[in-house]
Amino acid sequence: MADLNPLRLDGRHILVTGASSGIGRRTALMLHALGASLSVVDRDEAGLASLDAELCAGNGVARQVADLSDIAGIEELVSRCVAAGGKLHGVVHCAGIQEIMPVRTLQIDGWRRIFAVNTEAALMLGKCLSSKKVYAGHHGSIVFISSVMGMVGSAGAVAYSMSKAALDGMARSLSLELAPRGIRVNCIAPGFVRTPLFEQTERLWDEATRKAVEDLHPLGFGEAEDVAHAVAFLVADTGRWITGSTLVVDGGYLAR
Amino acid sequence: MSEPPAPATYVLITGASSGIGRDMAISLSGEHRLILNGRDAERLEQTRLACQAPDRHRCWPHDLADVTTLASALPAFLRQHDALVVGFVHCAAQLKVLPLRSITIAHAQDVMNTNVLAALEITRLLLRKDVNSKMLTNIVFVSSIASQFGARGFTTYCASKAALDGLMKALAVELAPGVRVNSVLPGSIRTPMTETIFADPVTAERLVKDYPLGIGLPSDITHAVTFLMSDQARWITGHQMVVDGGRSANISA
């Protein structure tokens, strides 16, 4: 029997942003368990360091503390990742800022910060991976974590929605440009997943609101693990013929 | 190896005699007992013999265009084999490229029967307590990117696949949380069904150009279906999962 586990990622080096918590953390742990070596990036140094306790021994993990709103610094950040762990096969961009900001209180600095981390950093990481100095040359895969909020709307979510919708659009065009180099580009659009980011939002709700939002998901709220499984599927050879697409992982939220 | 206790649980795959359905059957045969459906008993049997542990699997020859007899045929088959179905993968599809003027209503109904109504009827039957003891938990329809886009000569195929995706979403909402329902939307895969399309060298060349990652393999679809059927996709329902080598993202195609 060939193809014993097509999800295996042995010998591949993947950069994961937002790796200290939530979806990024589960993703990093999952890809590492499948055999990938990692460059994990986050602002939160202690959060990154706490990954060690959950990682299995073996393939390497290089921690890089960085604030991704510093777009100009990303090229150098990626160079450090390559210097530490070798050329990259993939990038998974999980870092994201989610803030409820009614449009009348929206300040230009606020939405630019959201856009920088959620969207512009993604583009910069994609641009970096396409460089010969960075890309390992085969099995290339980029996954951006977008959101169902990129496809449907919600009052107060203007900046977040547009930052996530932009990722879906970016993946479509970037996938065409990078296909000749064997790099696939896709998004995963989660619904409401129990993460620290989500809990911030949840705290603003009363019980009736919480119940109403949960009821929008025919399968209830999701776990970061659910998204991490989908990332693994897209990064591995199982996603070999998938590019320019958005995989919705939302417990049925958008089907309603 | 001792015999498992009866009744045994199965995954039902329609359209299993060739193409994507056949590849899927062979790939899933290690992990699941299978009920293989197709029109041609002989070719179904060939699929069964190509599976791992062929003795574990059952062939159910039935032409799905004959949708009205399913209500008696499927329960009878399950009773006869003391079988319960936990997963249902609908791969069966008819594709005949025909300009609108050549389409008859009888042909259109035939296509709708095989591609859509059989999926609805089989799902309905498998959810009946007296037929399947509420054992069904997972459904995947193999749709097509033709559910999203038009193409010359594809009227009945496009209509049927769009209907299949609509059915999928409605079922996902109605059957949650007990049953997950999703579809996979392949682009052009080389199979016996698409052979006539690839036989024309001009069309074949254009198709290859339209697909940023080239033409797909049946295994690409099998991987997606396997993922959706697994617990790894436990929070995915109602999703049209595009697996098309970048075709739908490509504006210049």
The domain that contains B90 carries what CATH number? Answer: 3.40.50.720
pLDDT of residue A2 exceeding 60, the answer is: no
pLDDT tens digits, A75-110: 999 999 999 999 999 999 999 998 888 999 989 999
Task: Note whether residue B118 is domain-resident.
Answer: yes
Task: Note whether residue B172 is domain-resident.
Answer: yes
What pLDDT does residue A1 have? 40
Mean pLDDT for all residues in chain B: 95
What pLDDT does residue B234 have? 98
Hey, what domains does chain A have and what are their CATH numbers? 13-249 (3.40.50.720)
CA-atom Rg of chain A in angstroms: 17
Task: Note whether residue B2 is domain-resident.
Answer: no
Whole-number Cα distances in Å, B153 to B101, B203, B251: 10, 13, 20
Task: Note whether residue B3 is domain-resident.
Answer: no
B245 at interface of A, judged by CB pairs closer than 8 A: yes
Across the interface, of B234, B237, B248, the residue whose CB is closest to A255 is B237
What pLDDT does residue A52 have? 86
Across the interface, of B176, B226, B232, the residue whose CB is closest to A218 is B176
Identify the residue whose tokens are 């994961």. Answer: A16
Whole-number Cα distances in Å, A252 to A13, A161, B65, B238: 33, 19, 30, 5
pLDDT of residue B25 exceeding 50, the answer is: yes
In this prediction, residue B189 has a pLDDT band, given cuts at 50, 70 and 90, of: very high
Q: Which of B23, B217, B228, B236 to mutate to test the interface with A (most CBs of A within 10 A)?
A: B236
Q: Which residues does chain A have within 8 Å of residue B169's beta carbon, measured at their own beta carbons?
A: 255
pLDDT tens digits, B104-136: 999 999 999 999 999 999 999 999 999 999 999
What's the whole-number mean pLDDT along residues B17-38? Answer: 96
What is the tally of helices (H) and strands (E) in chain B?
10, 7
pLDDT tens digits, A160-203: 999 999 999 999 999 999 999 999 999 999 999 999 878 887 88
> What is the spatial distance between Cα A228 and Cα B135, in angstroms, rounded to a whole number?
28
Whole-model pTM: value is 0.94
Residues 194 through 233 of chain A touching chain B, CB cutoff 8 Å? 218-220, 222-223, 226, 229-230, 232-233
- For B34, the domain range is 8-242
Task: Note whether residue B248 is domain-resident.
Answer: no
pLDDT tens digits, B131-164: 999 999 999 999 999 999 999 999 999 999 999 9
> What is the spatial distance between Cα B96 and Cα B80, in angstroms, rounded to a whole number?
35
Task: Note whether residue B40 is domain-resident.
Answer: yes
Q: How many domains does chain B have?
A: 1
Structure tokens at A163: 């930052």
Whole-number Cα distances in Å, B59 to A19, B62, B134: 48, 10, 22
Task: Note whether residue B123 is domain-resident.
Answer: yes
Q: Is B150 helix (H, G, I), strand (E, B) or coil?
A: coil
Per-residue exposure over A213-245, b if at least 16 CB sit within 10 Å of its own CB, e if not: beebbbbbbbbbbbbbbbbbbbbbbbbbbbbbb
Structure tokens at B121: 């009827």
Task: Note whether residue B13 is domain-resident.
Answer: yes
Omega of the bond leading into B7 within 30 degrees of 0 (cis): yes
B90, with CB counted inside 10 A (0-12, 13-18, 19+), is buried
